[in-house]
Structure 1
């Protein structure tokens, strides 16, 4: 039968679907970093999750973002319920992640390298769907803080457990739980010492909270770590969703935030109306208690941004290999291959450095040098890696042309998501000030940085010159120059990891990022770069 005369075109020169892909098998940089940083014993677990993330979870991510969470403040009879409803895809994503250890592997399988493997799990999961990383990260970070409080041991155990249960019931009826956080108030932002929420001691050793939070993350969680002003000063508390008798605790979700991205996850505003909570740590030590969690949440910000870069790069390279323009595949055009190679270089440095920091976090409890390095590197990486993600995603988007501006490509979702990690858990200025503070107050931190940089000395002369200049900057730190100092420190630390591990990308990273052979945008690598080798390493054809 002849084709209809109204059929005006054939579909051709279109790339095949990106998925299904094995995100572990396709990522040689990740595999090398996991093994090199001590997580190789978990390779089989990671391989299984990589296959899931690039297939089922990847597809579920589209549904979870398309149908956003909805707040139900009351039931049909007028009772206050403060529930958040999600698409089933969200719950499946959370179930798979929690079951496979994205929120708890470090704690329920605490062997050497567990933090590295858990970071790699988070990296794989975040590529498929970033919004669910928020409650997973907070749940993971809260465990060690809660575990030190004997009366809260059940909370710590169930937060770490490989079980997900979305029911709104007391935790005694659950095998696994999730945790949210509420630190920020309208008047204070990052300056949490200005928080006005009041915590009044009760006769039963609990506190009653009255006040508000401007950002209340993951409001569907079973419990929340919040800051409030107790008689002894700013204090950390664990506020359960449900009281021990099963009744709803005294808080009201006022509205969900209409966010730029992170659509699968809910964030809210909340008012506390006498909510019962348990103290975590001493009165007046709220900031110190929360800082114990910050190293873990900052690490996940780095990991998440590195994951976004990786997925954006993979999408762009997949498209460029299959799309023909002017008689050749896009990837064979020199200017396009330079852009893609530059993105691959940036992605590799971000991934390698993030996993190096994960190793420091892993060893912190048993190695003072690694603990000091983790103290600094989480702030440095949180600043730099998270700052780089939006530019990488945007450049990858441009590689797809107009198709990269369409939701079906996933690039718009990544583009909306990319700015979040630089804002969450302290903006860029906060990170830079924290770096200055750590270097000035803790000799162990300065020594740790010096040792880390020296570990790659003598391999590349340009690196050695850059590090020597950096040492001069470290000796004359000033607040006004904090961002420049932290940027140079980040570049040097990324280069050190690549050089020390023998990455084939190391010489070009040093030449371009440290040696000045690079412009202000991506795609400005030296003309003699072997782009094909970098791209073959980045993603199998």
Structure 2
């Protein structure tokens, strides 16, 4: 039926589809232009816009819905009773993962402006569906760990950087590209990986072992190989565990069950048992944590990027809805109180984007000072950006009213996804303690961060005062562990403030400093002080390309 007299649809916003997710994000475009060499900028912009148009298409949005409505299923045995330990994903999930691989989201380490272009692409791609970002992140992040063994890196890096996705389970050497997962945590230890009990027994062939034990969380169990930690005779050691051995036989990789997670439903996380599982050592015995730390740092940055992407999509949906929805005699976007809420959300999103892209640029630079900067700034950014994601997503959903609580809007999926990055790769306390560790052991890291912050000295009195407060916090080391979260929050905020004061439009920088650094901000979103140009802040966040 064409319709009935009692059912006329009016005053409903059109779907946010058919747009360039990258080009519509002014804060992200500005950051890419800021940190990309002019010689490759046109290439990078074209690449990101192509990904942005795909990400904003109705087709890929539908794939994301399908992948989440049909979550992965575990198949331990085939019809004849043979153990196969496979995970079935909906075809849409494989299509999305293949698109992410083809977009270069697993290969940043040897391309011009590789980390900035990949970071921007990852932030864009997260807005389609975060469920396939896990294997993309781990495949990308495995490279620093594998480089502890140059021979192993030479063999695996080309596979991981490939833009071809091959979903079949067969020897990695026979595939045009490969994806990597990881299994670090165990039941008894969690983030305390030194408490791991999985045993690694050396074999006759140098560098090879058999593993016996379990992993409580193994991410992306459909991957071609996994980096794991196990106790070798010389102590905790990193290993590469292939899913299929060179002769075509399946390695012992027993999937006990899939986790029933709050969000990230399209992706699989599994409990895994090793029982005589063949593995190759990565790095030296007893150096497992040192070997894996490069991967951990890279995945922590992806946690910040992923949360920044979720925040951006939530803000885009809220602003888009408010620009088209009318209530009480006018558009919602023009109502002073709604404008305050939207501007507050937009500030949080832009600050997250600015800091995350600054970290990616430090990876591209690779210099000693930038490495020192990353040592402190990555855990601080991971802590703060991921913490801000969940309340922002909930507030953005409320901007749509009852529609925001309905699955078809897409906002509930963002809300369920929003806490994940705060937990993955070390929850808040782990990040805060890591910041304290860096402060105590690596004074160059603090110097590099303060140098970065100091580039905005004198530009805003509220930022200058916040930096002084940070110095006071750093000078008082008594009971510092109990105050670690407060310290890390302040560090992240002044880093964001410094970046926005230097690079964002005056309306954005002024509103951020007034609310986040000047102390004139309530406990919830929508409490920005008077006298700010909120219309300009909201217009900048509007997803119109």
Taking structure 2 as the reference length, what is the TM-score of the superposition?
0.96
Structure 1 residues 379-528: aligned runs within 5 Å = 379-477=379-477, 478-504=480-506, 505-528=508-531
Q: In the alignment, is the contact (CA less than 8 A) between 1:98 and 1:162 conserved in 2?
A: yes
Aligned equivalents of 2:410, 2:447: Cα separation in 1? 43
1:328 corresponds to: 330
Residues paired across the two proteins, number: 534
Q: In the alignment, is the contact (CA less than 8 A) between 1:65 and 1:264 conserved in 2?
A: yes
Structure 1 residues 86-485: aligned runs within 5 Å = 86-104=89-107, 106-107=108-109, 109-111=110-112, 113-152=113-152, 153-205=154-206, 206-364=208-366, 367-477=367-477, 478-485=480-487
Question: CA 1:20–1:502 in structure 2 vs 1: closer, same or farther (change >3 Å)?
Answer: closer
Aligned equivalents of 1:89, 1:130: Cα separation in 2? 13
Aligned equivalents of 2:150, 2:515: Cα separation in 1? 52
Q: Which moved more, 1:254-263 or 1:47-56?
A: 47-56
Q: In the alignment, is the contact (CA less than 8 A) between 2:35 and 2:116 conserved in 1?
A: yes
For 1:227-255, what per-residue CA distance to the aligned partner results, in whole angstroms no more than 9, with x for missing partners? 00000000000000011111010120001
Q: In the alignment, is the contact (CA less than 8 A) between 1:26 and 1:539 conserved in 2?
A: yes
Taking structure 1 as the reference length, what is the TM-score of the superposition?
0.97
For 1:397-445, what per-residue CA distance to the aligned partner results, in whole angstroms no more than 9, with x for missing partners? 0001111111111111000000000000001001001101101111211
Question: Cα RMSD over matched residues?
Answer: 1.4
Q: In the alignment, is the contact (CA less than 8 A) between 2:510 and 2:532 conserved in 1?
A: no
1:8 corresponds to: 6
For 1:192-239, what per-residue CA distance to the aligned partner results, in whole angstroms no more than 9, with x for missing partners? 100010000011231000000010110000000000000000000000
Gaps of 5+ in 2: none
2:17 corresponds to: 19
Aligned equivalents of 2:79, 2:205: Cα separation in 1? 34
Aligned equivalents of 1:446, 1:345: Cα separation in 2? 26
Q: In the alignment, is the contact (CA less than 8 A) between 1:143 and 1:160 conserved in 2?
A: no
Report the secondary structure of 1:16's partner residue: coil
Structure 1 residues 35-46: aligned runs within 5 Å = 35-38=33-36, 41=41, 42-46=44-48
Q: In the alignment, is the contact (CA less than 8 A) between 1:25 and 1:47 conserved in 2?
A: yes
Alpha-carbon deviation of 1:39?
A: 6.0
Deviant stretches of 4+, over 6 Å: none
Q: In the alignment, is the contact (CA less than 8 A) between 2:376 and 2:445 conserved in 1?
A: yes
Alpha-carbon deviation of 1:327?
A: 1.7
Report the secondary structure of 2:370's partner residue: helix
Aligned equivalents of 1:400, 1:540: Cα separation in 2? 16
Aligned equivalents of 1:411, 1:53: Cα separation in 2? 16
Alpha-carbon deviation of 1:540?
A: 4.7
Alpha-carbon deviation of 1:143?
A: 1.6
For 1:151-181, what per-residue CA distance to the aligned partner results, in whole angstroms no more than 9, with x for missing partners? 4222222011111100011112101000000
Aligned equivalents of 1:173, 1:388: Cα separation in 2? 43
Aligned equivalents of 1:141, 1:250: Cα separation in 2? 24
Gaps of 5+ in 1: none
Q: In the alignment, is the contact (CA less than 8 A) between 2:316 and 2:543 conserved in 1?
A: no
Q: In the alignment, is the contact (CA less than 8 A) between 1:39 and 1:116 conserved in 2?
A: no
Aligned equivalents of 2:330, 2:229: Cα separation in 1? 58
For 1:462-484, what per-residue CA distance to the aligned partner results, in whole angstroms no more than 9, with x for missing partners? 11111112112112231011000
Aligned equivalents of 1:184, 1:442: Cα separation in 2? 26
Aligned equivalents of 1:141, 1:204: Cα separation in 2? 28
